[in-house]
Amino acid sequence: MSTAIQVTTAHGVGLDRASPVKRVFTFWVPLITFVVLTLFPFYWMLVASLKPNNELYNLRTFPFWVFNPTLDHYRYLFEKTYYATWLMNTLLISISSTAISLLFGILAGYALARLRFRGAAILGLAVFISYLVPQTLLFIPMFDVIKTLNIGDTYWALILTYPTFLIPFCTWLLMGYFKSIPKELEESAMIDGSSRLRALVDIVLPLAMPGILSAGIFAFTLSWNEFLYSLVFITTTPMKTLPVGVVNELIRGDVFFWGSLMAGALLGSVPVALIYSFFVEYYVAGLTAGAVKG
């Protein structure tokens, strides 16, 4: 024990006494490189969305700067297309499908983590394997279901189909996080007269909030960026989601409206980026616990 402490202390002192040059190349250079590479796509989309067409398609100009900024591409996006409507459609569908997926994921994950019944381990593995089934194999039979229910070209067509690939991952992630919470806490509450459901709501869920937030961020991101189901199940332009609407309306044959495409991509990626930036600590904590305990 003392040897480990001495080694750790000596290692820490060595880092503190490192030369400024060494700190620059071991810490600041990798950090700045990572930040630049991470933020460069956003900067590129911003620059391209602010360039006028004559500057955007002129290869002789400096590509990483705007000399005559304009908002024409943003005006075209909101005045000539249904971009605002697509944005609200995507937000509504993403929030609804995420809420449904978290509800069923919490109940299924808790049951698989806490309740003892035959085949629980196999069922948990099967739930996760079902998440790995590609959507390209499911959209054809799913389309028959949508047609039978007569909900094609409606919000429900996506709100009810997105959980088919969101619930399995949420269940697997939350199952691992529930296993990291000591079951003695629930047992003590049930000894005092609390029901299992009350123990879940009052004790387990507050402790599992990092895992729930992590699953929610993941589900919201997948719903926000989903393309295939939205392309197949939604046909009218005003009902489309953001990824499909931008691609269908701003790419016509071999003509790409690059300025408006970049503006739409930038505005569409900002909400997800903000969510990650505010909840990144909970996201990492939830993924770590789910991976270790799952």
Q: What is the DSSP string of 124-181?
A: HHHHHHHHTS-GGGTHHHHHHHHHHHT-TTSHHHHHTTTHHHHHHHHHHHHHHHHHTS
Q: Which CATH superfamily is domain 75-293 in?
A: MetI-like (1.10.3720.10)
pLDDT at res. 284: 61
Query: Which segments of the chain belong to CATH 1.10.3720.10?
Result: 75-293
pLDDT at res. 223: 93
Average pLDDT over residues 168-176: 88
Q: Is the pLDDT of residue 288 over 70?
A: no
**208-221 residue pLDDT tens:** 888 898 889 889 98
Q: Under DSSP, is residue 256 helix (H, G, I), strand (E, B) or coil?
A: strand
Q: How far lies 256's CA from each of 84, 220, 236, 260, in Å? A: 20, 28, 21, 9
**220-249 residue pLDDT tens:** 989 999 999 999 999 899 999 999 999 888
User: Whole-prediction pTM value?
Assistant: 0.81
* pLDDT band, very low/low/confident/very high, at 157 (cuts 50, 70, 90): very high
Q: Is the pLDDT of residue 1 over 50?
A: no
Average pLDDT over residues 95-124: 88
What value, to the nearest 5°, has the Cα angle with vertex 241 and ends 41 and 150?
155
Average pLDDT over residues 183-203: 86
